[in-house]
Amino acid sequence: MALKRVEIDLYIWEGLITNQPTTPQYEINKSRIDTHNNITVEIGELVRDYLEVSFNDDYLSQTRWVRAVVEYFTQADEPYTYNNPQVFDYVATDGYGYFEDGTNPELSRHALISADNIYLPENTIGKLPIFAEGVGKVTIDSVDTEITDNGNTNQKIQYVTIPQNSGTIQVYDTDDSTLLKTIKVKDIKND
């Protein structure tokens, strides 16, 4: 039986994943285009309505839980009887990708920086953004910082302080032994 349409209940919230709202923020009904075999639904702009990104030198995590409950319908407009509905859970952040990355590229699940070098003015403290769900510890010049994540959206993105005049940052997986990324800190001399 061919797919005719989908109905999606879209929930967006902050806090713990167990605190899902009882009513969806959006109810989406979309039909398949006759010449296609699937249905594409872009939820990024809807989710962005619930991300209030502002910076006041406070380094707060700006993430939300997103749950899409998708029900599929046959050409006879009857719900499929197997594996229906399906539930998809996401942690949403506001960011950008490059054209070559495709639609809504996935960020790394550890250091939220693609560069292998950080440049800081000499004698200046810096911040390293990390995705806490995928990191167990960050080592800066042999000093470990343990990363904890209790599942609250306010902890998903954390900012590790880079001490002044540091040299090397190593980001480890949640097992605390698998090295995920090494970043060199380079001082820029103040003239």
Q: 97 and 155: one domain? A: no
Q: How is 152-166 classified by DSSP, letter by letter?
A: -GGGSEEEEEE-TT-
Residue 64 lies in a domain: yes
Residue 178 lies in a domain: yes
List pLDDT tens digits, range 135-172.
999 999 999 999 998 889 888 989 999 999 999 999 99
Residue 177 lies in a domain: yes
Q: 12 and 92: one domain? A: yes
Tokens linked to 120: 């800081």
Q: Which domain holds residue 156?
A: 117-188
Q: How many degrees, rounded to 5, is the angle at CA 182 between CA 105 and CA 180?
A: 55
Q: 39 and 69: one domain? A: yes
List pLDDT tens digits, range 28-77.
999 999 888 889 998 988 998 988 877 666 666 678 999 999 999 999 99
Sign of CA dihedral 184, 161, 156, 91: negative
Q: 84 and 144: one domain? A: no
Residue 22 lies in a domain: yes
Q: 153 and 84: one domain? A: no
Q: 158 and 70: one domain? A: no
Q: 121 and 85: one domain? A: no
List pLDDT tens digits, range 94-140.
776 677 777 666 777 889 888 899 999 999 999 999 999 899 999 99
Total domain count, the chain: 2
Reported in sequence order, the residue ranges of 17-116 that DSSP labels E, i.e. its strands, are 26-31, 63-74, 86-93
